[in-house]
Amino acid sequence: MTQVIFIGATGTDIGKTYVTCLLLRQLQEQGYKVRAIKPVISGFDEDNIADSDTGRLLTTMGLTPDLANAEKISPWRYKDPLPPHLVALQTARPIVFDRLVQYCQQQTAENPDFLLIEGAGGIMTPLDYDHTTLDLMAHLDCACLLVAGSYLGTISHSLTALTCLRQRDIDIKGLVICQSPQDYTDFDMIRQDFTKIIPDLPITTIGRHDQTTDLSTLVI
Burial of 150 by CB count in 10 Å (0-12 exposed, 13-18 middle, 19+ buried)? buried
Q: Cα angle at 144 between 138 and 148, to 5 degrees?
A: 125
Looking at the annotation, which residues are catalytic?
A: 38
Task: Give the C-alpha separation, 85 to 127, whole Å.
Answer: 5
In one-letter notation, the amino acid at residue 19 is V
Cβ partners under 8 Å of residue 61, min gap 6: 24, 28, 34, 35, 36
Task: Give the C-alpha separation, 75 to 170, whole Å.
Answer: 25
